[in-house]
């Protein structure tokens, strides 16, 4: 008959250092910034390189011109 062993449950508690928390915060900010800036760059490329009707191209460039300040605001927003 197989004997059951009693397992000792141990928890691995890791306390993040200040530098690790800061690095995680910077990485999260970069992800948020690039989440807005990559579509902005795609719109700029569309506006200049795609042979689409002129109103579409101008509309894409108009939207892209607003996105860099929005990306800066979103990227530098601190979590509550």
Residue whose tokens read 């300040």: 69
Q: How confident is the model at residue 37 (pLDDT cuts 50, 70, 90)?
A: very high
What is the Cα–Cα distance from 2 to 36, expressed in whole angstroms? Answer: 59
Mean pLDDT across the chain: 88
Percent pLDDT > 90 in the chain is 65
* Averaged pLDDT for residues 11-25: 88
Asked if residue 22 has pLDDT above 60, the reply is yes
Per-residue pLDDT at 78: 74
């Amino acid at each position: 008959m197989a004997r059951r062993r009693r397992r000792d449950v141990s928890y691995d508690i890791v306390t993040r250092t200040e530098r690790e928390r800061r690095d995680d915060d910077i990485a999260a900010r970069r992800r948020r910034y690039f989440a807005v800036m990559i579509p902005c760059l795609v719109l700029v490329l569309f506006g200049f390189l795609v042979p689409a009707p002129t109103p579409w191209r101008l509309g894409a460039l108009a939207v892209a011109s607003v996105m860099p300040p929005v990306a800066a605001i979103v990227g530098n927003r601190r979590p509550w």
